[in-house]
Amino acid sequence: MIYILTIISVAAIPIMISVILIHGMIKKVNLYDAFVEGASEGFKTAVRIMPYLIAIFLAIGVMRKSGAMELIISFMKAPMTLLGIPPEVLPLAIMRPISGSGALGVLQDILTHYGPDSFVGRVASTMMGSAETIFYTMAVYFGAVGIKYSRHTVPAALIAHFAAMIASVVICRIVFL
């Protein structure tokens, strides 16, 4: 099962590309010209998102390197433990929506410290696999089109993230305990 899933994963993008090219060929699209014409937009987009990326990287960098992240994590410890989230995985739960590479570092820490097959290790792995960085994604996607007011995106994304964290703990309790 896992083996099949891995193959599908690796093959998905090549299949998408092949379908597009073959369909274009059948419909007699001038493939080469159409590709180059579309691709020329890529540079404009990259330049357009750059200032937004710099802004968000800067803010996240200051938070992480100043120790402000650790401070927030220690504040959140009591309420989160009440909800049944093991305190060991808290740093990950909080880091995950803010910084992807930061969260990977935290996960690595947890796995070496508690062992990947411990309950904490399994919960942490599940959390990592079920969540996504929020602020960075918002900066890139909204930045690319110049959206200034994100409306209900942040609350909805944070609630969904919170649900993922709780669900990770609950499902691991059911499966592994």
Partner 1 sequence: MSIIWFSMIIFGMIVAIFNGKIEIINDVILQDAQEAVIFAIGLTGIMAVWLGLMNIAKKSGLIKAFALIMQPVTKLLFPKVPADHPAISAIMMNMVANMFGAGNSATALGIKAMEELQTLNKDKKAATNAMCMFLVINMSSIQLIPLTVLKLRGDAGSAAPTEIIATSFVATAVSTAVGIFVCKVLEGREG
Per DSSP, 97 falls in state T
Minimum distance from CB of 96 to partner 1 (Å)? 11
Please name the residues in contact with 88: beta carbons below 8 A apart, sequence gap of 6 or more. Answer: 110, 114, 120, 124
Three-state DSSP at 177 gives coil
Minimum distance from CB of 86 to partner 1 (Å)? 15
Minimum distance from CB of 41 to partner 1 (Å)? 5
Q: Which is closer to partner 1, CB of 7 or CB of 87?
A: 7
Please name the residues in contact with 161: beta carbons below 8 A apart, sequence gap of 6 or more. Answer: 96, 97, 131, 134
Q: Which is closer to partner 1, CB of 42 or CB of 79?
A: 42
Separation of first and last alpha carbons in the chain: 23
User: Under a CB-based contact definition with an 8 Å cutoff, are residues 127 and 165 in contact?
Assistant: yes
Q: Which is closer to partner 1, CB of 5 or CB of 78?
A: 5
Minimum distance from CB of 165 to partner 1 (Å)? 8
Q: How many CB atoms lie within 10 A of CB 102?
A: 20
Q: Which is closer to partner 1, CB of 61 or CB of 87?
A: 61
User: Under a CB-based contact definition with an 8 Å cutoff, are residues 123 and 160 in contact?
Assistant: no
**CA-to-CA distance for 158 and 131, rounded, in angstroms?**
10
Q: Which is closer to partner 1, CB of 81 or CB of 113?
A: 113
Minimum distance from CB of 47 to partner 1 (Å)? 8
